[in-house]
Structure 1
Amino acid sequence: MRLCNNNCTAWFAYAWGDGSAQDYQPDPDIAGVGVIIAYVASSFFTLCFALAYWTLTASTSPDQNLIDYWVFWFLSKLQLFKRTHRVRHFWVPVIEKVMLNLSDQQLLTGLSVLIAGFATHCSISAYHFAIVSDLAWFSSNVHLSTLTVLEGYLLKERGVRNWRVVSIMCMGILLIANNAMQGHWAWSESWSFDAQCLFDNLTGNWGGRPGYWAEVNIALIVVFYPMQILLLFDTTSEFIDEWLWVKPLKRIEALRHLASWYRLTLATERKVEIEKEKTVGGGTDPSHAYGSQQNLIQSRRSTSIASTSDHIELTMMGAFRDGAEPSLRRPDTETRLEGRSQASGLENHDPRTQGPQLRRAPTLPVDAELSG
């Protein structure tokens, strides 16, 4: 359906190779130098304030992940901001108030440029419509970055958050429509012609490189815009942080430890193989060397057992010969026990009297008492 009375004969001739390109018509309200500088300058200052806020609050943020840690560590080494408690206490509230105004400015700027582009769709060229899209993307991305700074404030101020959510949804819808209208296969070659000519001929001609990038941009909007909106609510914010940051980073850390263990195992196996190769190269069979080592260990064990058995047998024979009770203790054990007895003296602790008592004298045999 034709919405404008544009003469698209020249564009049809050019698109199908029968005509020549037109000269570009200037539009200072969209592509003027002052307009571009104003957009870039406001976005640049917004990003600078956001960077300052992230640096000052890096050590106190509960949502810091591994990537944030390394980025903030690198920034702290540059010593651009001194993160003392006094500096943080003064500057963080100031930056939050400034960022609140800059965030609103970026949101309204993006919406205004998109509305202006759609309002002039009958007279705007494809080149200037593409500039409208670029400026809207620029403002949109900067605004989304400010939401990470204002997340805590917006979680508390629900009224301020709700109208911002509505504005973000409007910008996302306009961006999707803007990118969808640039999916014509001849879009990149038709910059000087009226954009409406391509809009009227879009059905059935979606494709090529412009169509591919339009699909990528739409996919990014569909994924990240709802995600950023959900982060402005308590329950969804915790859920997304858990499943998109904490758990994936834990899995990555586990895989890193597994890879380290695997490399260590391979290095150990390689070392064993090198030792075997050295043994074979020296003229010794590894299996024979292993068997010899086991035989040596078994021989040492047998010798120790035999010496212990001989000691027990000799001790028992001597004890029976002297008429005393045989002892199976080793000589060094007897020596240690005698030393302990001499060191403890004659006193022994009797639990019945709770006091020291003398040891009882050995009882004499009956024959000795009669003879006495």
Structure 2
Amino acid sequence: MVTTQECLRYLQTGAVTKGDADISGKGVILAFLISAYVSFTAVLVAYVTGMLEDELLTTVDRRIMRIKSRKDKHPRIHETIQHIVLLLSDQQIVTGIAIMAAGFVGLRGGQMSVYHYQIVLYLAWLSSSVHLSALTLLRPFLNKHQGLRAWRLLGMIVLFFMLIVGLVPTVSYDWGTIYSPEADTSLPDAIQPTGWGIPAICFWGKTYGDGLNDDAPIGYLILIFSYVWKMGDLFAA
């Protein structure tokens, strides 16, 4: 566990960012990105090809985008796309919760740097955003299967609160910005002490008198608005 004295020292000198393949490894990043892009592509294809319920189309979709529902003409294709999106969106919830749980464990133990904790937040937010985008397509299906809707709502609530709590360290103005004035610029970037190498736990509920990050309220507002909007959409007729 990192002590307060160590945190104060790191704030003055920075720290070297150490590798963590479990968080920033190429395999981990690719797994998240591929899943997210496939899920987003499936939703996009469903809209462009009209493989969705007519009730999901707005006036703009019909008159400007010229999209018509073709699910009745191609029920098997519609069902296949729907199940693919359902499966991938479920995966997004699970992976988002899993990466946030790993982040909290590393944060509590003091081993996770600002850099790697920021990656955790990026990946979890990516999973959250992709899942929310898929909900629009799944609304009619979930309205018919209330048990699945209840479980999905529970997963959304868990991930939402994990993100809300997880953003706490990032509200500090010093988050990721500390750079030692005595740094040796001749050293390679990989071994250069910076604010990104400081243990993320050093910023848990602490601003060190430098105030809050100006972007912090915006991040919270976007997160809250998107979840309230999509959760309400789940119960729309």
TM-score bracket for this pair, using the shorter chain length: 0.7 to 0.9
**Pairing partner for 2:147 from 146, 159, 167:** 159
3-state SS in 2 of match to 1:182: helix
The residue type paired with residue 166 of structure 1 is L
> Letter of the aligned partner of 1:231 in structure 2?
D
1:116 aligns with 2:102: yes
- The alpha carbon displacement at 1:118 in A equals 0.5
Where 2:197 maps in the other structure, the secondary structure is coil
Aligned to 2:79: 93
Is the radius of gyration larger for structure 1 or structure 2? 1
Partner of 2:16: 23
Matched, 1:173 2:161: yes
Distance 2:64 2:29 in 1: 30
Q: Which residue of 2 aligns with 1:135?
A: 123
Gapped runs of 5+ residues in structure 2? 178-194
Cα separation, 1, equivalents of 2:201 and 2:122: 18
Q: Which moved more, 1:39-48 or 1:218-227?
A: 218-227
SS of 1:171's partner is helix
Residue 217 of structure 2: aligned partner: 215
In 2: Cα distance, 1:97 partner to 1:59 partner: 12
* Alpha-carbon distance change, 217 to 200 in structure 1, aligned in 2, over 3 angstroms: closer
Alpha-carbon displacement from aligned partner over 1:83-109 (angstroms, at most 9, x marks no partner): 6964x3231011111111111101101
Q: Quick one: which amino acid aligns to residue 148 of structure 2?
A: V
Q: Are 1:196 and 2:192 counterparts?
A: no
SS in 1 for 2:84: helix
AA partner of residue 196 (structure 1): I
Q: CA deviation at 1:188?
A: 2.1
CA distance change for structure 1 residues 60 and 38 in 2, over 3 Å: closer, same or farther? closer
| Contact 1:111–1:136 under 8 Å retained in 2 | yes
Q: Relative to structure 1, is the Cα distance of residues 200 and 62 closer, same or farther in structure 2, using a 3 angstrom cutoff?
A: closer
> Can you give the 5+ residue segments of structure 1 that lack an aligned partner in the other structure?
77-82, 239-372
Contact 2:113-2:200 at 8 Å conserved across structures: yes
SS at 2:176 equivalent: coil
- 1 CA distance for matches of 2:132 and 2:86? 12
- Match for residue 37 of structure 1 among 25, 30, 37: 30
Q: Shift in Å at residue 65 of structure 1? A: 2.5
SS of equivalent residue, structure 2 residue 75: helix
TM-score (normalizing by structure 2): 0.82
Please state how far the C-alpha of 1:21 moved relative to its aligned partner: 2.8
C-alpha distance 71-113 of structure 1, shift in aligned 2 (>3 A):
farther
1:64 is displaced (CA, Å) by 2.4
1:322-349 CA-to-partner distances (Å, cap 9, x unmatched) read: xxxxxxxxxxxxxxxxxxxxxxxxxxxx
* TM-score with structure 1 setting the length: 0.54
After TM superposition, list the pairs within 5 Å mapping 1:76-91 onto structure 2. 86=73, 88-91=74-77
How many positions carry a matched residue from both structures?
217
Q: 4+ residue stretches of structure 1 with deviation over 6 A?
A: none
Q: For the residues of structure 2 that align with 1:184 and 1:144, how far apart are their CA atoms?
A: 28
* Counterpart contact for 2:46–2:52, Cα < 8 Å: no
State percent identity of aligned pairs.
27
Q: Over aligned residue pairs, what C-alpha RMSD do you find? A: 2.4
Q: Which residue in 2 is equivalent to 1:12?
A: 8
Q: Alpha carbons of 1:158 and 1:204: their partners in 2 closer, same or farther (altered >3 Å)?
A: farther
TM alignment of 1:1-372, pairs within 5 A: 5-7=1-3, 9=5, 11-13=7-9, 15=11, 19-57=12-50, 61-69=54-62, 72-73=65-66, 86=73, 88-121=74-107, 122-189=110-177, 190-199=195-204, 201-202=206-207, 205-207=210-212, 211-233=213-235, 237-238=236-237
